[in-house]
Amino acid sequence: MGRFFGRRHKPADIPTHDPTFGDPKAAQLVSDLQSRDWRAVHNFLNVIQDPDDLQYYLDFCVEQLGVQAWIEDWIEAEPQSYLPFLVGGAHAVEWAWLGRGAALAKHTLPAQFQIFERRLRKAHELLEHAIARNPDDPTAWAALIKCGMGMSLGLEEATARFREAVARHRWHYGAHMSLLHQFLRKWGGSHELASSFALDTAANAPASSGLASMVVTASLEHWRMDLDEAESEKYLNSDETVAGFHTAADQSVRHLSYRRRLGWQRDFNMFAFAFWETDQWDAAGAMFDALGDQFTRTPWNFLVGESAEWFARARAEVAKHRS
């Protein structure tokens, strides 16, 4: 029912989106990227030791527009460093998807597919160079999963790349999320495959990793992509699905061992959305209490309209109904 709450009225207390969540390091990285100061970017990324932290900050490089215009300068200046190839390759994957557009394949123009394929080939090449220069780092392998998904390399190749990533960092957040998306029906998998992978990961991953949120991701993707409206609401509000959300929360955000690592807001937003959509008011309220105004665009962008407004609508409805 959450999707239809307050649609005609703009909610109060709409938060402003801050992708850095107040992290001064992330804000400085974004500033350096915008200034095309690759030396500063190198100096910052080069000292990060934790692979999940590197993935987190790399995502800011990926999402920054215009990196393709100056990345070759960095590559030419530091041809032996893996970092310019990693940044350039991971960004090129996102740049390829930007060129393709978000429409279904049947609504995508041939020219868009040509741009998509050309940029993905470039991304693939750069990421292979990154791996050759730093074989122990899992980050490029994780990026290659999404790159291969766009290139239609299939489930077997995606799984092989995932295994390379997790051999280097067992519970790599980005690698797990990328393989989960490859396992979705829309990319050649199935809901059963994606759900099984998510449940197995949730059962075995450390609570501190936050990977149990994959259960929510798999369920929401099935709800919004695979089913018609009547079936989707029945599925999402079924006892089994709702119980799965609570179990996943107990395995992550509600577990005593959970830690608010970089990017923890993603996990809480996923659970806030899922609990709100299924009228689990108190459970959703706990998520909103932890978040404050720190919303992520996903999953609120699953709904038609502005993510910030949906976040505010949901928060207001939860406040009205919780105990």
pLDDT tens per residue across span 115-140 = 889 999 999 999 999 999 999 999 99
Task: Say whether both 42 and 176 belong to one domain.
Answer: yes
Q: How far apart are CA 249 and CA 183, in angstroms?
A: 22
Answer whether residue 168 is part of any domain.
Answer: yes
**Would you mind telling me the total number of residues written for the chain in this entry?**
323
Task: Say whether both 151 and 66 belong to one domain.
Answer: yes
Task: Say whether both 174 and 41 belong to one domain.
Answer: yes
Q: How far apart are CA 40 and CA 250, in angstroms?
A: 40
Boundary (domain end) residue, out of 148, 182, 216: 182
Task: Say whether both 215 and 135 belong to one domain.
Answer: no
State the angle between helix axes of 191-204 and 239-250 in degrees (0 to 180), rounded to the nearest 10.
Answer: 30
Nearest to 71 by CA among 46, 44, 36: 36
Q: How far apart are CA 77 and CA 15, in angstroms?
A: 41
Given a cut of 80, whether residue 18 has pLDDT beyond it is: yes
- Residue 114: pLDDT band (50, 70, 90) is confident
**CATH number of the CATH domain containing 125:** 1.25.40.10
Task: Say whether both 127 and 264 belong to one domain.
Answer: no
Given a cut of 80, whether residue 105 has pLDDT beyond it is: no
Nearest to 281 by CA among 292, 272, 270: 272
Boundary (domain end) residue, out of 182, 211, 241: 182
Task: Say whether both 205 and 163 belong to one domain.
Answer: no
pLDDT at 103: 61
Answer whether residue 16 is part of any domain.
Answer: no
pLDDT at 48: 98
CB 172 within 8 A of CB 55: yes
Q: How far apart are CA 277 and CA 217, in angstroms?
A: 13
User: Percent of the chain beyond pLDDT 70?
Assistant: 94
Given a cut of 80, whether residue 82 has pLDDT beyond it is: yes
Q: What angle do CA 224, 275, 180 make, to 5 degrees?
A: 50
Task: Say whether both 280 and 157 belong to one domain.
Answer: no
pLDDT, the chain, mean: 95
pLDDT, average across residues 42-49:
98
pLDDT tens per residue across span 237-255 = 999 999 999 999 999 999 9
pLDDT tens per residue across span 254-270 = 999 999 999 999 999 99
- The set of residues, in sequence order, having a beta carbon less than 8 Å from that of 99 and lying 6+ positions away, is 112, 115, 116, 119
Boundary (domain end) residue, out of 182, 201, 229: 182
Q: Which of 76-85, 115-124, 274-283 is predicted with the least confidence, judged by mean pLDDT?
A: 115-124
pLDDT at 193: 98
Task: Say whether both 200 and 169 belong to one domain.
Answer: no
- Between 111 and 211, whose confidence is greater? 211
- The set of residues, in sequence order, having a beta carbon less than 8 Å from that of 290 and lying 6+ positions away, is 253, 268
Answer whether residue 169 is part of any domain.
Answer: yes
pLDDT, average across residues 307-316:
98
Find the radius of gyration of the CA atoms of the chain. Answer: 20
Q: What six digits make up the tokens of 119?
A: 């940029």
Given a cut of 70, whether residue 107 has pLDDT beyond it is: no
pLDDT at 99: 65
Given a cut of 50, whether residue 272 has pLDDT beyond it is: yes
- What are the CA-CA distances from residue 49 to residues 46, 78, 130, 159, 178 (Å)? 8, 20, 16, 25, 21
Task: Say whether both 247 and 292 belong to one domain.
Answer: yes
* DSSP code at position 103: S
pLDDT at 102: 64
Compute the 3-state secondary structure of the chain and give helix, strand, coil in percent, each to the nearest 5: 70, 0, 30
- Report the Cα 165 to chain-centroid distance in Å: 17
Given a cut of 80, whether residue 110 has pLDDT beyond it is: no
Answer whether residue 4 is part of any domain.
Answer: no
Given a cut of 80, whether residue 106 has pLDDT beyond it is: no
Q: 290: number of CA atoms within 13 Å, CB side?
A: 18
Answer whether residue 15 is part of any domain.
Answer: no
Task: Say whether both 203 and 89 belong to one domain.
Answer: no
Task: Say whether both 178 and 194 belong to one domain.
Answer: no
CB 213 within 8 A of CB 266: yes
Domain extent for 131? 21-182
Q: Which of 102-116, 177-191, 205-219, 306-320 is predicted with the least confidence, judged by mean pLDDT?
A: 102-116
CB 117 within 8 A of CB 151: yes
Q: What six digits make up the tokens of 299?
A: 């999953």
Answer whether residue 2 is part of any domain.
Answer: no
**How would DSSP label each residue in 109-159?**
-HHHHHHHHHHHHHHHHHHHHHHHH-TT-SHHHHHHHHHHHHTT--HHHHH
Please give the model's pTM, rounded to 2 decimal places.
0.94
- Residue 1: pLDDT band (50, 70, 90) is very low
- Residue 5: pLDDT band (50, 70, 90) is very low
pLDDT at 98: 80
Answer whether residue 319 is part of any domain.
Answer: yes
